[in-house]
């Protein structure tokens, strides 16, 4: 009798021990080790629920529509753009605030370019002066100057005619020995002087009527072109002082403020912006599951921040190269060294309430 009791006690103890082991295994499968975080418990529950749902038959005998669940982040309709200036400088003013709606080409901020603004009018004045010099050169002599030159030529011609006639009379008188030889020489000298004056007047009139030299025109043109290029360069530099919106969108964050310096070699932009007229999700699909993804595939997006809500969308882009995981779930057991493929899906209008950067779970339908 004593031996029978011992055997029964051992059977009870063995049965209880087996039940404890079974409960421990079930608890381990559902909750994992006691050292795992709350996030890991949720992730395990989600994985088990997805596994059960994917294998559970529906009323029509088909498997459930969810084939894959992947982590992802919410993005705007466009990539987040970092906006900077086209030149180095100190920020003078910021014309927008975080959350401002802007249009393409709108001035967002300005750099301090007072020196350029002061130098530009000086360059324009120099160019205008050179333009007038060139125009005056191409115009040539004034009408009054040409008229005066013609009158001097006419006067010199009349003097020459008189001196020539006087010389002819003196020659005839000298041949008749009616005048002295010296008188004839004086008349001959006066006629030569008159001829020289007439030729000089002719050359002066021709010079007045002639156009400018090609070398002078070339120099004036080159000077003017150089001044105009300096103006264009100054205007180009001045235009770079205005930071314009590269697209229609919303200002997300202002990083630099007035009196802070911006440099092209600096990694800090002035502000960031994106198109928030819609939402999309960028999911990271494990390399083992990339064959389950296709363009046009329907997705359902859920997040712990919006319990009980789901946002639908469609896969619009699949990356062509694998990459490293960037969306971390917080689970210490989650492997971060595994390659993933980025998949982008456009979400429907109701998703515009989702904040950018929100971590979400993307469920891919068949």
Q: What is the pLDDT of residue 171?
A: 85
Q: What are the domain boundaries of the chain? A: 32-77+278-365, 81-112+241-274, 119-236
Task: Give the single-character DSSP code of 177.
Answer: T
d(CA 315, CA 313): 7
Q: Mention every residue, 6+ apart, whose C-beta is less than 8 A from residue 21.
A: none
The pLDDT of residue 270 is 95
Give the residue among 222, 218, 360 at the shortest CA–CA distance from 279.
360
CA 263 vs. chain centroid, Å, equals 15
Residues 250-288 pLDDT 10s: 999 999 999 999 999 877 999 999 999 999 999 999 999
Q: Are strands 107-111 and 249-254 parallel, antiparallel or unpaired?
A: unpaired
- By the 8 A CB rule, do 155 and 201 touch? yes
Q: What's residue 143's pLDDT? A: 81
Given the structure tokens 């802007």, which residue do they identify?
Answer: 102
Same fold, 32-77+278-365 and 81-112+241-274: no
Q: How many CA atoms lie within 13 A of 254 on its CB side?
A: 16
Q: Which of 273, 269, 214, 272 is nearest to 248 (CA)?
A: 273
Quote the CA–CA distance of 72 and 326 in Å, as a whole number.
9
The residue ranges of the chain whose pLDDT is under 70 are 1-64, 329-336
Query: What was the pLDDT predicted at 33?
Result: 47
Q: Is the dihedral of CA 27, 28, 31, 34 positive or negative?
A: positive
**Hey, what are 200's tokens?**
């000089």
> Counting every residue, how long is the chain?
366
- Comparing CA positions, the residue from 254, 282, 222, 281 lying closest to residue 97 is 254
Interatomic CA distance for residues 159 and 15, integer angstroms: 151
pLDDT at residue 362, as a whole number: 95
CATH number of 81-112+241-274: 2.40.50.100
CATH of domain 32-77+278-365: 2.40.30.170
Q: In whole angstroms, give the CA distance from residue 86 to residue 110.
A: 11
Query: Torsion angle, CA of 144/146/147/151, rounded to 10 degrees?
Result: 140
Residue 361's nearest CA partner among 78, 77, 66 is 66
User: CB–CB of 316/280 below 8 Å?
Assistant: yes
User: In angstroms, what CA-CA distances link 256 with 35, 85, 93, 273?
Assistant: 43, 11, 10, 14
In the prediction, which pLDDT does 332 show? 64
Residue 99's contacts (CB-CB under 8 Å, 6 or more residues apart) are 250, 251
- Taking the C-alpha atoms of residue 68 and residue 343, their distance in angstroms, rounded to an integer, is 13
pTM for the model: 0.58
Q: What is the pLDDT of residue 7?
A: 36
Q: What is residue 331's predicted lDDT score, i.e. its pLDDT? A: 63
**Cα distance between the two ends of the chain:** 65
Instruction: Tell me if 361 sits within 8 A of 299, measured CB to CB.
Output: no
């Amino acid at each position: 009798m004593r031996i029978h009791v011992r055997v029964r006690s051992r059977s009870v103890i063995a049965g209880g021990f087996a039940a404890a082991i079974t409960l421990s295994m079930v608890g381990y499968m559902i909750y994992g080790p006691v050292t795992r975080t709350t996030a890991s418990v949720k992730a395990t529950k989600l994985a088990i629920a997805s596994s059960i749902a994917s294998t559970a038959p529906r009323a029509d005998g088909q498997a459930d529509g969810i084939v894959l669940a992947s982590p992802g982040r919410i993005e705007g309709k466009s990539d987040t753009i970092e906006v900077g200036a086209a030149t180095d400088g100190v920020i003078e003013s910021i014309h927008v605030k975080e959350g401002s709606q802007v249009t393409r080409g709108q001035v967002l901020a300005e750099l301090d370019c007072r020196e350029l603004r002061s130098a530009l009018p000086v360059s324009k004045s120099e160019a205008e002066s050179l333009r007038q010099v060139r125009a005056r050169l191409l115009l040539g002599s004034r009408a009054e100057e040409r008229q005066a030159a013609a009158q001097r030529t006419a006067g010199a011609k009349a003097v020459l005619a008189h001196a020539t006639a006087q010389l002819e009379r003196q020659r005839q008188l000298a041949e008749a020995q009616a005048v002295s030889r010296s008188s004839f020489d004086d008349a001959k000298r006066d006629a030569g002087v008159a001829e020289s004056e007439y030729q000089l007047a002719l050359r002066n009139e021709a010079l007045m009527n002639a156009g400018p030299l090609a070398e002078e025109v070339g120099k004036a043109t080159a000077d003017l072109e150089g001044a105009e290029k300096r103006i264009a360069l100054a205007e180009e530099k001045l235009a770079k002082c205005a930071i314009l919106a590269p697209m229609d969108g919303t200002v997300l964050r202002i990083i630099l403020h007035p009196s802070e310096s911006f440099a092209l070699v600096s990694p800090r932009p002035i502000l960031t912006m994106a198109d928030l007229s819609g939402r999309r999700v960028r999911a990271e699909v494990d390399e083992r599951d990339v064959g389950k993804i296709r363009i046009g595939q329907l997705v359902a997006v859920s997040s712990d921040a919006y319990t009980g809500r789901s946002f639908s969308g469609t896969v619009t882009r699949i990356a062509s190269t694998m990459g490293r995981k960037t969306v971390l779930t917080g689970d210490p057991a989650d492997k971060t060294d595994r390659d993933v493929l980025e998949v982008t899906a456009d979400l429907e209008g109701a998703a515009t309430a989702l904040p950018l950067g929100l971590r979400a779970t993307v469920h891919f339908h068949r």
